[in-house]
Amino acid sequence: MGFAGYLVEALCDVSLTLILYVLLRPVSRDLALLAVFFRLVGTAVFAMTELFYFSALFILGGADYLKTFSPDH
* pLDDT score of 55: 78
Which SS3 state, helix, strand or coil, does residue 33 take? helix
Cβ atoms of 21 and 35 closer than 8 Å: yes
For the chain, the average pLDDT equals 84
Q: Which residue has the higher pLDDT, 61 or 10?
A: 10
Under the banding of pLDDT at 50, 70 and 90, the label for residue 56 is confident
Torsion of CA 49, 50, 51, 57, to 10 degrees: 120
Count Cβ atoms below 10 Å from residue 2 Cβ, excluding itself.
8
Q: Which residue has the higher pLDDT, 3 or 29?
A: 29
Cβ atoms of 14 and 43 closer than 8 Å: yes
* pLDDT score of 21: 92
Q: Which residue has the higher pLDDT, 21 or 60?
A: 21
CA–CA dist 5, 1 (Å, integer):
6
